[in-house]
Amino acid sequence: MKLHSCQNCWFNGLQYGPLGLAVGYCARHKKILNVPDGTTCGLHLRKDLTLIRAIEVSEIHKEKYSIEIVCRINDGLHYDSDISDNQKDMELLKKDSVADTVTDYGELGSTIESLAQLKAMPGARAELAMLSLGRGYANNCVLRDGKWTSGVHLYWWSRLRLAYIPKIEVADLLSVGAIQLSRQIELTL
């Protein structure tokens, strides 16, 4: 995984490292990410960093990449084949329950509604999506005025789940290397 790629961005709740679907989804650009390990944009916020550091790195990232488009990391250019918002592609993606909720993020009555739906879903991918999109949600609330009572729900949901190891199925793996499946799942945890 490339750290500055869409795969490692808060706004892609469908992937992180070896966990996730074959495609990602950017909740900011509202696009399917066909090449999430090779694309980025100026809005990128890294999942692997603390809030303060992620914001610092994002400011540097914005100097090189446009905030308006998803582009390739290697040359900063936009390629139509790297993303999709085609209705047929969206319908196919929405057949997955986690992806359906992630693609609706920000489109329902409130963004916390999507996060609550993800919280109620079983499995590691739903957990990943809730935590990933939840970071952006909490950050936006704090930036606006610091009053974010629904953010307290995110805190409690996350805190309660820390004691549990998420169940990872073979279908949850983005890719499988040349090792046994059981070992791949252990490494994903």
Residue positions counted in the chain? 189
List of residues 6+ apart from 175 with CB closer than 8 A: 18
Per-residue pLDDT for 188 more than 70? Answer: no
Could you read off the pLDDT of 69-122 as tens digits, one per residue? 999 999 999 999 999 999 999 999 999 999 999 999 877 667 788 888 988 898
List of residues 6+ apart from 60 with CB closer than 8 A: none
Could you read off the pLDDT of 76-90 as tens digits, one per residue? 999 999 999 999 999
Residue 1 near residue 40, CB atoms below 8 Å: no
Per-residue pLDDT for 187 more than 90? Answer: no
Structure confidence at residue 119 (pLDDT): 87
Q: What percent of the chain has pLDDT over 70?
A: 87
Residue 133 near residue 42, CB atoms below 8 Å: no
